[in-house]
């Protein structure tokens, strides 16, 4: 199978895909389309256009990185056929059914990458139609591996469930960092000191977690000394039922993920 890949949309995630793929595929085989010429030039694209109708016929694989709310309007502008292309969507909430109807292709992958894909440390969940061959799936895995790890899922329901977990997960991490920074500043630390505390504490903890076999619960218990400051903090979290609040938040996110296009 040929591997000319067109990325439609050079925003944060589309740009991340281009940068990651440029390390694994010949640059001339990566085609880029966006309304912003300067953005495409800054990414180092060699083959690019502001008109998707010029790019799509040259590609074997189409990565759709269009804003979900703009996707149906985008489809109205497409005058060329996509029915023989392998389509990979990184658009949230746009279903396989909608993608098949709008592209005419039977080979569709719907995926959910997350923010760390921008630094090649992401996790992408994906689900595919039954028409993908083993060769197709290998190239899909190669594409996603350029941005980190990937998980093939069996159903779109599972992908929707993954969305508020790993898809939204980076926002939860940043929120905890934000809370720690704000509290540190209230306690008299400088802005730079507060940021360093959040950065080193959480990134360091993630590295320990990644490089060992203990579970998150086991590490939490290991850090929580009896009668110490950590135990005092967790006693309060448990009294306020923080776990339930978090669980309910995830449920709200999943309901929104189920509101598909």
pLDDT tens digits for range 22-56: 999 999 999 999 999 999 999 999 999 999 999 99
Q: How confident is the model at residue 3 (pLDDT cuts 50, 70, 90)?
A: confident
- Is 50 exceeded by the pLDDT of residue 1? no
Q: How confident is the model at residue 93 (pLDDT cuts 50, 70, 90)?
A: very high
List CB contacts of 216: < 8 A, sequence separation 6 or more.
Answer: 209
Instruction: Assess if residue 173 is contained within a domain.
Output: yes
pLDDT tens digits for range 223-254: 999 999 999 999 999 999 999 999 999 999 99
Which residue, of 132, 156, 180, is where some domain finishes?
156
Which residue, of 98, 133, 156, is where some domain finishes?
156
CATH of residue 145's domain is 3.40.50.720
CATH of residue 200's domain is 1.10.3730.10
Of the candidates 169, 167, 2, 171, the one whose C-alpha atom is nearest the C-alpha of residue 90 is 167
Q: Which domain holds residue 69?
A: 5-156
pLDDT tens digits for range 148-199: 999 999 999 999 999 999 999 999 999 999 999 999 999 999 999 999 999 9
Q: Mean pLDDT across the chain, nearest whole number?
A: 96
Tokens 């903890």 sit on residue: 205
In this predicted structure, what is the pLDDT of residue 2?
64
Residue pair 74/68 in contact (Cβ under 8 Å)? The answer is: no
- Is 50 exceeded by the pLDDT of residue 144? yes
- Is 70 exceeded by the pLDDT of residue 260? yes
Pair 15, 140 in one domain: yes
């Amino acid at each position: 199978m040929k591997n000319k890949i067109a990325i439609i949309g050079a925003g944060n995630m589309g740009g991340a895909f281009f940068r990651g793929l440029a390390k694994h595929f010949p640059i001339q085989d990566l085609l880029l389309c966006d309304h912003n010429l300067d953005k495409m030039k800054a990414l180092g694209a060699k083959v690019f256009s502001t008109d998707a109708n010029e790019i799509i016929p040259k590609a074997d694989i189409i990565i759709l990185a269009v804003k979900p709310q703009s996707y149906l309007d985008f489809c109205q502008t497409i005058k060329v056929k996509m029915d023989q292309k392998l389509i990979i969507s990184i658009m949230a909430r746009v279903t396989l059914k909608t993608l098949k109807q709008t592209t005419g292709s039977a080979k569709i992958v719907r995926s959910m990458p997350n923010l760390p894909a921008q630094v090649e440390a992401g996790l992408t969940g994906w689900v595919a139609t039954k028409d993908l061959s083993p060769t197709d799936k290998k190239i899909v895995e190669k594409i996603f591996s350029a941005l980190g790890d990937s998980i093939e899922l069996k159903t779109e329901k599972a992908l929707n469930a993954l969305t508020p977990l790993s898809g939204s997960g980076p926002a939860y991490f940043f929120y905890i960092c934000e809370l720690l920074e704000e509290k540190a500043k209230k306690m008299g630390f400088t802005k730079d000191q507060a940021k360093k505390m959040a950065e080193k504490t959480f990134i360091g903890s993630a590295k320990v977690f990644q490089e060992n076999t203990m579970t998150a619960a086991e590490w939490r218990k290991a850090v929580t000394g009896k009668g110490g400051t950590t135990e005092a903090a967790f006693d309060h979290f448990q009294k306020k039922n923080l776990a339930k609040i978090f669980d309910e938040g995830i449920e709200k996110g999943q309901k929104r993920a189920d509101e598909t296009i």
